[in-house]
């Protein structure tokens, strides 16, 4: 999959977390084009107005202002053009209700953000290996 | 993720054995169940042979039977208690006729793999690493 360099959209309001994802991508040699939206509303605008090329992968935070990750997912799954995008939740929320809602909306994985950057790097490396195995 | 149940749906005994061996060699901590076809799998999910708790993961080759695999996945997605199951399609088929339909049913991964024992372990190992970084809800 990586050879084709599918587009990835990161939906994340925390600037430090955005930086961490960019650093982890760079350190793991993930060269896919990465687009960033600050919350669900912004992400939907980017996707619906086609400002960005359609991503095959979305990395989604849960707790965000304006529109949280679960609300975003609900709307996305009802949109013919967007509903089959692979979504990976990456969040600090360990709430069972968030996990239930996310899996009911068929995310491909729910990942708790590790506290240390080193552990985060390992998680991103695992994700990269998984993405390379899959056909999207 | 903690210990979960994984349901493998495949009618080829040799391949089921190969995957079981690979799980053991890689020390996958999850419990592997297997069903020889979609009907058997359904009875293990919502029938007389029901597995409790419900498996968190299904592994299936949807290209083995005409449309049965897609019908099975559609039924899962329409079932309140089963719709959240993570589905990994693994296939050694050269035709991808069901790929788009499977992706539209929000499977977690569509994976081409060879079922030979020497190449199977690296595949299962990547999948196992991935299963180990994801969280599941504690319900059911």
pTM score = 0.94
Of the residues A98, A126, A133, the best mutation for testing chain B's interface (the one with the most B CB atoms within 10 Å of its CB) is A133
Q: In whole angstroms, what is the distance from residue B40 CA to residue B47 CA?
A: 9
Asked whether residue B65 carries a pLDDT value surpassing 80, the answer given is no
Provide the CATH number for the domain around residue B32. 3.40.50.2300
In terms of CA atoms, which chain A residue is nearest residue B90? A134
Give the domain range for residue B27: 5-133
Judge contact between B59 and B8, C-beta under 8 A.
Answer: yes
Domains in chain B, number = 1
The candidate with the shortest Cα–Cα distance to A74, out of A60, A92, A90, A55, is A60
Does residue B140 sit within a domain? no
Q: Which residues of chain A make contact with B99, given a CB cutoff of 8 A? A: 135
Percent of chain B at pLDDT exceeding 90: 74
Asked whether A62 and A69 are in contact (CB, 8 A), the reply is yes
Q: Which alpha helices (H) appear in chain A, and where do they start and end? A: 15-27, 40-48, 69-77, 96-104, 117-133
The residue with tokens 């991964």 is B109
> Which chain A residues are Cβ-neighbours of B133 within 8 angstroms?
109, 111, 123, 126-127
Chain B environment of A129 (Cβ under 8 Å): 126, 129-130
Q: A2 CB near a chain B CB, below 8 Å?
A: no
A5 or A131: whose pLDDT is higher? A131
H-helix or E-strand spanning residue B104: helix B99-104
What is the topology classification, in CATH, of domain A2-133?
Rossmann fold (3.40.50)
Q: Which of A105, A128, A22 is nearest to B105 (CA)?
A: A105
CB-CB under 8 Å, B112 with A130 = no
Is the pLDDT higher at B68 or at A19?
Answer: A19
Strands B86-91 and B31-35: unpaired
CA distance B2 to chain A (A): 13
pLDDT for B140 equals 60
Mean pLDDT of chain B: 91
Write the residue in A103, A123, A130 that is nearest to B126 by C-beta.
A130
Q: Is A129 on the interface with B (CB under 8 A)?
A: yes
- Which residue from B86, B81, B82, B76 is spatially nearest to B134, judged by alpha carbons? B86
Q: Is B77 an interface residue toward A (CB < 8 Å)?
A: yes
Are B111 and B119 spatial neighbours (Cβ–Cβ below 8 Å)? no
> For residues B74 and B42, is the Cβ–Cβ distance under 8 A?
no
> Smallest Cβ distance to A108: which of B109, B111, B132?
B109
Interface probe, candidates B105, B137, B138, B140, chain A, greatest A C-beta count within 10 A: B137
Of B106, B108, B134, the CB nearest to A111: B134
Kindly report, residue by residue over A7-60, the tens digit of the pLDDT.
999 999 999 999 999 999 999 999 999 999 999 999 999 999 989 999 999 999
Please name the residue that has the structure tokens 């449309």. B67
With a threshold of 0.90, tell me whether the complex ipTM lies above it.
Answer: yes
Q: What is the pLDDT of residue A2?
A: 42
Vertex B34 angle, CA A132 and B104, to 5°: 45
Residue B139 in any domain: the answer is no
Interface test with B, best of A74, A78, A103, A105 (most B CBs within 10 A): A103
Domain segments of chain A as ranges? 2-133
């Amino acid at each position: 999959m990586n050879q084709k360099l599918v587009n990835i959209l990161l939906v994340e309001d925390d600037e430090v977390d955005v930086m961490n994802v960019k650093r982890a991508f760079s350190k793991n040699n993930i060269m896919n084009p990465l687009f960033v939206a600050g919350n669900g509303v912004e992400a939907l605008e980017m996707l619906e107005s086609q400002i960005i090329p359609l991503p095959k992968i979305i990395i989604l935070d849960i707790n965000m202002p304006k529109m949280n990750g679960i609300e975003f997912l609900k709307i996305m799954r009802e949109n013919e053009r967007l509903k089959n995008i692979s979504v990976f939740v990456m969040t600090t929320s360990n709430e069972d209700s968030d996990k239930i809602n996310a899996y009911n909306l068929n995310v491909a994985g729910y990942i708790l953000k590790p506290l240390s950057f080193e552990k985060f790097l390992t998680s991103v490396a695992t994700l990269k290996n998984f993405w390379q195995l899959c056909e999207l | 993720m903690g210990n979960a149940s994984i349901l493998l749906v495949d009618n080829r005994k040799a391949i089921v054995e190969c995957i079981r061996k690979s799980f053991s060699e890689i020390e996958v901590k999850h419990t592997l169940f297997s069903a020889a076809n979609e009907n058997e799998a359904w009875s293990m999910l919502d029938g007389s042979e029901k597995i409790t708790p419900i498996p968190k993961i299904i592994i299936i080759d949807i290209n083995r039977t005409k449309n049965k695999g897609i019908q099975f996945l559609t039924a899962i997605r329409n079932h309140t208690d089963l719709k959240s199951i993570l589905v990994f399609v693994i296939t050694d088929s050269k035709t991808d006729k069901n790929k788009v339909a499977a992706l539209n049913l929000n499977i977690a991964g569509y994976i081409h793999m060879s079922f030979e024992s020497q190449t199977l372990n690296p595949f299962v190992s990547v999948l196992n690493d991935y299963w180990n970084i994801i969280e599941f809800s504690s319900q059911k």
